[in-house]
Protein backbone atom coordinates (compact mmCIF):
# COMPACT_ATOMS: atom_id res chain seq x y z
CA UNK A 1 0.00 0.00 0.00
CA UNK A 2 1.38 3.45 -0.98
CA UNK A 3 1.25 6.49 1.23
CA UNK A 4 0.78 10.09 0.13
CA UNK A 5 1.73 13.38 1.76
CA UNK A 6 -0.44 16.29 0.59
CA UNK A 7 1.17 19.73 0.58
CA UNK A 8 -0.91 22.85 -0.15
CA UNK A 9 0.87 25.92 -1.48
CA UNK A 10 -0.09 29.59 -1.10
CA UNK A 11 -2.07 29.48 -4.38
CA UNK A 12 -4.18 26.58 -3.05
CA UNK A 13 -2.58 24.02 -5.36
CA UNK A 14 -2.13 20.64 -3.80
CA UNK A 15 0.90 18.47 -4.37
CA UNK A 16 0.77 14.76 -3.63
CA UNK A 17 4.07 13.01 -2.86
CA UNK A 18 4.01 9.24 -3.00
CA UNK A 19 6.23 7.23 -0.67
CA UNK A 20 7.13 3.59 -1.00
CA UNK A 21 5.37 1.41 1.56
CA UNK A 22 7.26 0.37 4.60
CA UNK A 23 6.25 -1.21 7.88
CA UNK A 24 7.01 1.92 9.87
CA UNK A 25 5.83 4.58 7.40
CA UNK A 26 2.41 5.04 9.01
CA UNK A 27 3.95 5.49 12.42
CA UNK A 28 6.52 7.90 11.00
CA UNK A 29 3.96 10.22 9.39
CA UNK A 30 1.69 10.02 12.35
CA UNK A 31 4.51 11.08 14.66
CA UNK A 32 5.63 13.96 12.45
CA UNK A 33 2.12 15.25 11.88
CA UNK A 34 1.54 15.19 15.60
CA UNK A 35 4.76 17.16 16.10
CA UNK A 36 3.71 19.76 13.51
CA UNK A 37 0.41 20.27 15.32
CA UNK A 38 2.26 20.96 18.57
CA UNK A 39 4.67 23.57 17.07
CA UNK A 40 3.46 27.10 17.73
CA UNK A 41 4.27 30.16 15.53
CA UNK A 42 6.49 31.72 18.21
CA UNK A 43 8.54 28.53 18.33
CA UNK A 44 9.03 28.69 14.57
CA UNK A 45 10.30 32.26 14.93
CA UNK A 46 12.67 31.20 17.70
CA UNK A 47 14.00 28.39 15.56
CA UNK A 48 14.58 30.80 12.68
CA UNK A 49 16.34 33.34 14.89
CA UNK A 50 18.53 30.61 16.39
CA UNK A 51 19.47 29.39 12.93
CA UNK A 52 20.34 32.93 11.83
CA UNK A 53 22.48 33.39 14.94
CA UNK A 54 24.37 30.18 14.18
CA UNK A 55 24.92 31.25 10.57
CA UNK A 56 26.17 34.69 11.65
CA UNK A 57 28.51 33.14 14.21
CA UNK A 58 29.97 30.79 11.63
CA UNK A 59 30.38 33.65 9.14
CA UNK A 60 32.18 35.73 11.78
CA UNK A 61 34.45 32.78 12.51
CA UNK A 62 35.30 32.32 8.82
CA UNK A 63 35.98 36.04 8.32
CA UNK A 64 38.10 36.06 11.47
CA UNK A 65 40.23 33.17 10.22
CA UNK A 66 40.70 34.85 6.82
CA UNK A 67 41.69 38.14 8.47
CA UNK A 68 44.16 36.39 10.79
CA UNK A 69 45.77 34.61 7.86
CA UNK A 70 46.19 37.88 5.96
CA UNK A 71 47.55 39.59 9.04
CA UNK A 72 49.99 36.73 9.61
CA UNK A 73 51.23 36.98 6.02
CA UNK A 74 51.66 40.75 6.40
CA UNK A 75 53.64 40.29 9.61
CA UNK A 76 55.87 37.63 8.03
CA UNK A 77 56.54 39.90 5.05
CA UNK A 78 57.34 42.86 7.31
CA UNK A 79 59.68 40.80 9.49
CA UNK A 80 61.38 39.34 6.41
CA UNK A 81 61.84 42.80 4.92
CA UNK A 82 63.40 44.12 8.13
CA UNK A 83 65.74 41.13 8.35
CA UNK A 84 66.83 41.45 4.71
CA UNK A 85 67.41 45.19 5.19
CA UNK A 86 69.74 44.42 8.08
CA UNK A 87 71.62 41.89 5.95
CA UNK A 88 71.91 44.39 3.10
CA UNK A 89 73.21 47.02 5.52
CA UNK A 90 75.95 44.67 6.74
CA UNK A 91 76.85 43.84 3.12
CA UNK A 92 77.28 47.56 2.43
CA UNK A 93 79.48 48.08 5.47
CA UNK A 94 81.65 45.12 4.48
CA UNK A 95 82.09 46.52 1.00
CA UNK A 96 83.54 49.70 2.55
CA UNK A 97 86.31 47.79 4.28
CA UNK A 98 89.67 47.89 2.52
CA UNK A 99 92.83 46.04 3.34
CA UNK A 100 94.82 47.53 6.20
CA UNK A 101 97.94 49.60 5.53
CA UNK A 102 99.91 47.69 8.12
CA UNK A 103 99.73 44.32 9.87
CA UNK A 104 97.93 45.62 12.95
CA UNK A 105 95.28 47.39 10.90
CA UNK A 106 94.87 44.31 8.71
CA UNK A 107 94.22 42.15 11.79
CA UNK A 108 91.60 44.63 12.97
CA UNK A 109 89.85 44.47 9.59
CA UNK A 110 89.80 40.67 9.74
CA UNK A 111 88.15 40.81 13.17
CA UNK A 112 85.57 43.28 11.90
CA UNK A 113 84.77 41.05 8.93
CA UNK A 114 84.43 38.04 11.21
CA UNK A 115 81.95 39.86 13.44
CA UNK A 116 79.96 41.08 10.47
CA UNK A 117 79.86 37.55 9.06
CA UNK A 118 78.57 36.21 12.36
CA UNK A 119 75.80 38.79 12.29
CA UNK A 120 74.92 37.86 8.72
CA UNK A 121 74.87 34.17 9.58
CA UNK A 122 72.38 34.75 12.39
CA UNK A 123 70.14 37.02 10.33
CA UNK A 124 70.16 34.82 7.25
CA UNK A 125 68.95 31.81 9.27
CA UNK A 126 65.97 33.93 10.37
CA UNK A 127 65.33 35.07 6.81
CA UNK A 128 65.53 31.53 5.47
CA UNK A 129 63.00 30.36 8.07
CA UNK A 130 60.58 33.19 7.25
CA UNK A 131 60.89 32.47 3.53
CA UNK A 132 59.91 28.85 3.95
CA UNK A 133 57.03 29.85 6.25
CA UNK A 134 55.27 31.46 3.31
CA UNK A 135 57.14 31.11 0.06
CA UNK A 136 54.53 32.93 -2.01
CA UNK A 137 55.50 36.22 -0.35
CA UNK A 138 59.12 35.96 -1.48
CA UNK A 139 60.38 38.02 -4.43
CA UNK A 140 63.22 37.48 -6.88
CA UNK A 141 65.12 40.34 -5.22
CA UNK A 142 64.83 38.61 -1.84
CA UNK A 143 66.31 35.44 -3.33
CA UNK A 144 69.15 37.33 -5.03
CA UNK A 145 70.11 39.03 -1.76
CA UNK A 146 70.08 35.71 0.08
CA UNK A 147 72.08 34.03 -2.70
CA UNK A 148 74.80 36.68 -2.61
CA UNK A 149 74.97 36.59 1.18
CA UNK A 150 75.06 32.80 1.39
CA UNK A 151 77.88 32.82 -1.17
CA UNK A 152 79.82 35.40 0.85
CA UNK A 153 79.67 33.36 4.05
CA UNK A 154 80.47 30.07 2.31
CA UNK A 155 77.08 28.31 2.11
CA UNK A 156 77.54 27.34 -1.53
CA UNK A 157 74.60 24.94 -1.90
CA UNK A 158 72.20 27.47 -0.41
CA UNK A 159 73.63 30.18 -2.64
CA UNK A 160 73.19 28.03 -5.74
CA UNK A 161 69.59 27.25 -4.75
CA UNK A 162 68.62 30.88 -4.20
CA UNK A 163 70.31 32.09 -7.40
CA UNK A 164 68.16 29.63 -9.33
CA UNK A 165 65.08 30.78 -7.43
CA UNK A 166 65.88 34.43 -8.16
CA UNK A 167 65.80 33.61 -11.87
CA UNK A 168 62.70 31.43 -11.63
CA UNK A 169 60.68 33.98 -9.68
CA UNK A 170 60.87 36.86 -12.15
CA UNK A 171 59.34 37.48 -15.57
CA UNK A 172 60.86 40.97 -15.74
CA UNK A 173 63.42 40.89 -18.55
CA UNK A 174 66.06 43.20 -17.04
CA UNK A 175 65.94 41.59 -13.60
CA UNK A 176 66.09 38.10 -15.13
CA UNK A 177 69.11 39.14 -17.22
CA UNK A 178 70.91 40.61 -14.21
CA UNK A 179 70.19 37.63 -11.96
CA UNK A 180 71.33 35.23 -14.68
CA UNK A 181 74.65 37.00 -15.13
CA UNK A 182 75.17 37.14 -11.35
CA UNK A 183 74.52 33.42 -11.18
CA UNK A 184 76.97 32.91 -14.05
CA UNK A 185 79.62 34.86 -12.12
CA UNK A 186 78.91 32.70 -9.06
CA UNK A 187 79.44 29.55 -11.15
CA UNK A 188 82.76 30.88 -12.45
CA UNK A 189 83.93 31.49 -8.89
CA UNK A 190 83.07 27.86 -8.08
CA UNK A 191 85.32 26.81 -11.01
CA UNK A 192 82.30 25.69 -13.06
CA UNK A 193 83.46 27.58 -16.14
CA UNK A 194 81.36 25.81 -18.77
CA UNK A 195 78.20 26.13 -16.69
CA UNK A 196 79.04 29.78 -16.14
CA UNK A 197 79.49 30.40 -19.85
CA UNK A 198 76.16 28.78 -20.64
CA UNK A 199 74.50 30.94 -18.01
CA UNK A 200 76.04 34.10 -19.49
CA UNK A 201 74.74 33.03 -22.90
CA UNK A 202 71.26 32.55 -21.44
CA UNK A 203 71.41 36.01 -19.88
CA UNK A 204 72.37 37.58 -23.20
CA UNK A 205 69.57 35.69 -24.96
CA UNK A 206 66.93 37.45 -22.83
CA UNK A 207 65.18 39.95 -25.10
CA UNK A 208 65.87 43.52 -23.95
CA UNK A 209 64.90 46.83 -25.52
CA UNK A 210 67.40 48.94 -27.42
CA UNK A 211 67.27 51.84 -24.95
CA UNK A 212 70.60 53.28 -23.84
CA UNK A 213 70.12 52.03 -20.27
CA UNK A 214 69.46 48.46 -21.35
CA UNK A 215 72.31 48.52 -23.87
CA UNK A 216 74.60 49.56 -21.02
CA UNK A 217 73.39 46.58 -18.98
CA UNK A 218 74.35 44.28 -21.87
CA UNK A 219 77.77 45.95 -22.12
CA UNK A 220 78.31 45.45 -18.40
CA UNK A 221 77.44 41.77 -18.84
CA UNK A 222 80.03 41.35 -21.58
CA UNK A 223 82.56 43.19 -19.41
CA UNK A 224 81.84 41.00 -16.37
CA UNK A 225 82.20 37.86 -18.46
CA UNK A 226 85.42 39.15 -20.08
CA UNK A 227 87.02 39.87 -16.68
CA UNK A 228 86.22 36.36 -15.48
CA UNK A 229 87.70 34.79 -18.63
CA UNK A 230 90.86 36.87 -18.13
CA UNK A 231 91.03 35.84 -14.47
CA UNK A 232 91.09 32.20 -15.58
CA UNK A 233 93.75 32.81 -18.22
CA UNK A 234 91.41 32.79 -21.21
CA UNK A 235 92.70 35.97 -22.88
CA UNK A 236 91.41 35.02 -26.35
CA UNK A 237 87.86 34.65 -25.02
CA UNK A 238 88.26 37.88 -23.12
CA UNK A 239 89.17 39.78 -26.30
CA UNK A 240 86.14 38.35 -28.15
CA UNK A 241 83.82 39.55 -25.40
CA UNK A 242 85.42 43.01 -25.33
CA UNK A 243 84.82 43.25 -29.08
CA UNK A 244 81.14 42.36 -28.58
CA UNK A 245 80.85 44.96 -25.82
CA UNK A 246 82.35 47.62 -28.09
CA UNK A 247 79.98 46.66 -30.92
CA UNK A 248 77.00 46.99 -28.56
CA UNK A 249 78.27 50.35 -27.30
CA UNK A 250 78.10 51.83 -30.81
CA UNK A 251 74.28 51.68 -30.57
CA UNK A 252 74.12 54.01 -27.54
CA UNK A 253 72.71 57.30 -28.81
CA UNK A 254 73.30 59.51 -25.77
CA UNK A 255 76.80 60.90 -26.35
CA UNK A 256 77.71 61.19 -22.67
CA UNK A 257 76.71 57.58 -21.98
CA UNK A 258 78.35 56.52 -25.25
CA UNK A 259 81.65 58.06 -24.18
CA UNK A 260 81.40 56.59 -20.66
CA UNK A 261 80.84 53.08 -21.97
CA UNK A 262 83.66 53.53 -24.49
CA UNK A 263 86.07 54.61 -21.73
CA UNK A 264 85.08 51.60 -19.61
CA UNK A 265 85.70 49.23 -22.53
CA UNK A 266 89.05 50.89 -23.29
CA UNK A 267 90.13 50.43 -19.66
CA UNK A 268 89.03 46.81 -19.75
CA UNK A 269 90.94 46.21 -22.95
CA UNK A 270 94.08 47.60 -21.33
CA UNK A 271 93.53 45.37 -18.32
CA UNK A 272 92.65 48.16 -15.91
CA UNK A 273 89.92 48.00 -13.31
CA UNK A 274 86.83 50.05 -13.95
CA UNK A 275 86.70 53.07 -11.67
CA UNK A 276 83.45 53.81 -9.88
- Of 137, 140, 145, 147, give the one whose Cα is nearest residue 167: 140
* pLDDT of 157 over the 90 cut: yes
User: 52-67: per-residue pLDDT in tens?
Assistant: 777 777 777 676 666 5
Helix (H) or strand (E) holding 4: strand 3-8
Give the DSSP letter of residue 135: G
Q: Give residue-wise pLDDT tens across range 84-107.
A: 777 777 777 777 766 555 555 555
What local confidence, expressed as pLDDT, does residue 137 receive? Answer: 77
Task: Find the DSSP H helices in the chain.
Answer: 25-38, 41-96, 103-133, 140-152, 156-168, 173-189, 193-205, 212-231, 235-249, 255-269
| Res 73: pLDDT | 65
Average pLDDT (130-141) is 79
**DSSP secondary structure code for residue 12 in this structure:** S
Mean pLDDT over 2-9 rounds to 44
Q: What is the CA radius of gyration of the chain?
A: 35
Amino acid sequence: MSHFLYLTSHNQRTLAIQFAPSPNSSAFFAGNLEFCKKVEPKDVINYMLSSMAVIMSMSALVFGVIFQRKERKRNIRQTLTNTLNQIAGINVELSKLVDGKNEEEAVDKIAIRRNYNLQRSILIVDADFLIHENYKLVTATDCALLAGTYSAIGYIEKADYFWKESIEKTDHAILKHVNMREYASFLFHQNHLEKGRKQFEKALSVALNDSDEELRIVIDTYAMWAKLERAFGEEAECKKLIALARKTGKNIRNQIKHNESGAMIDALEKGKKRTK
